[in-house]
């Protein structure tokens, strides 16, 4: 255990993983902090959503820290919980944000329906986490795992639902006469596209130093674009308005 237990690739992986997640945390909390200036609750929910959106990579980051600092690896059960048990939080935070902004008068109906779906997953997830975690995922290395049918099915269904809501959100935003809102929508869509590409590449390609750098860079860029899209720095907003004039 300790740093000597890491291969050069694992050390690079863990370091870059921590860098990516640190930036993600900072940007997410930065969005949340904007609530105190604008008093818009969606800034809290989307900021936290951005943070929990990256929770599938928390397991490997925590494992890297515990091995590096304490010479102890996390258990497979803990790894699976951290990596796949927190996804519903991100999903519910986004659904609340979507419903609040697009269907404010129906938001609780939409959220309750989606909440029921996620509660069902959470109950099943924790049942098998206690009885047989291998039916959820199998840890194949210090920093990687292979999802099984239950988790994979939930993730695919969640992606499909969230993709639909994102497209509805973008479409409605693009109908606004406000050029700044239109550009915010474009940036948010671009951020989700970058995240999707990064997540897919991370799951389907073999990780070597180059591919690891590329996938983490894509995920990092997605966080930055997401932050810009939701907060829209005043100077950029003024430039957009100026060009539209």
- Helix (H), strand (E), coil (C) string for 199-240: HHHHHHCCCCHHHHHHHHHHHHHHHHHHHHHHHCCHHHHHHH
- Lowest mean pLDDT across 3-17, 31-45, 50-64: 3-17
pLDDT at 7: 87
pLDDT at 10 over 60: yes
> Is 52 within 8 Å of 18 (Cβ atoms)?
no
Among all chains, which residue has been given the structure tokens 């750098």? 213
Confidence of residue 1 (pLDDT cuts 50, 70, 90): low
Query: How many domains does the chain divide into?
Result: 1
> Is 145 within 8 Å of 138 (Cβ atoms)?
yes
Write the CATH number for 59: 1.20.1070
**Quick one: average pLDDT of 141-164?**
93
**Quick one: average pLDDT of 94-119?**
96
CA–CA separation, 122 and 88 (whole Å): 8
> Is 62 within 8 Å of 82 (Cβ atoms)?
yes
CA–CA separation, 233 and 159 (whole Å): 29
pLDDT at 208: 80
- Residue 156 tokens, joined: 């695919």
pLDDT at 218 over 80: yes
pLDDT at 96 over 90: yes
How many beta carbons lie within 10 A of that of residue 92, not counting itself? Answer: 19
pLDDT at 244 over 70: no
Q: What is the average pLDDT value for the chain, to the nearest integer? A: 93
- Residue 129 tokens, joined: 């986490």
Q: Which structural domain, as residue segments, surrounds residue 91?
A: 3-244
pLDDT in tens, 18-43: 999 999 999 999 999 999 999 999 99
pLDDT at 207 over 80: no
Q: Within 13 Å, how many C-alpha atoms sit on residue 173's CB side?
A: 21
**Quick one: average pLDDT of 205-228?**
90
**Quick one: average pLDDT of 224-240?**
90
Residue of 150 and 243 predicted with greater confidence: 150
Q: Is the pTM of this model over 0.85?
A: yes
pLDDT at 245: 55
**Quick one: average pLDDT of 115-141?**
97
């Amino acid at each position: 255990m300790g740093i000597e237990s890491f291969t050069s690739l694992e050390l690079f992986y863990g370091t870059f993983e921590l860098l990516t997640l640190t930036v993600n945390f900072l940007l997410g909390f930065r969005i949340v902090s904007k609530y105190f200036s604008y008093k818009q609750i969606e800034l809290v929910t989307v900021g936290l959503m951005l943070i929990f959106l990256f929770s599938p990579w928390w397991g490997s980051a925590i494992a890297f820290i515990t091995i590096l600092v304490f010479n102890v690896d996390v258990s497979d059960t803990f790894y699976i919980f951290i990596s796949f048990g927190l996804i519903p939080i991100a999903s519910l935070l986004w659904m609340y944000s979507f419903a609040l902004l697009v269907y404010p008068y129906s938001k609780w109906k939409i959220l309750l329906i989606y909440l029921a779906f996620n509660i069902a997953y959470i109950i099943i997830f924790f049942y098998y986490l206690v009885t047989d975690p291998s039916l959820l995922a199998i840890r194949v290395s210090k920093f990687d795992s292979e999802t099984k049918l239950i988790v994979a099915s939930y993730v695919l269904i969640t992606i499909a639902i969230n993709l639909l809501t994102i497209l509805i959100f973008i479409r409605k935003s693009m109908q606004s006469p406000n050029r700044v809102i239109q550009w915010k929508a474009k940036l948010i869509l671009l951020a989700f596209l970058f995240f999707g590409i990064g997540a897919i590449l991370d799951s389907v390609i073999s990780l070597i130093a180059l591919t690891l750098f590329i996938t983490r860079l894509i995920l990092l860029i997605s966080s930055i674009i997401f932050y810009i899209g939701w907060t829209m720095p005043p100077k950029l907003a003024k430039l957009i308005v100026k060009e539209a004039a």
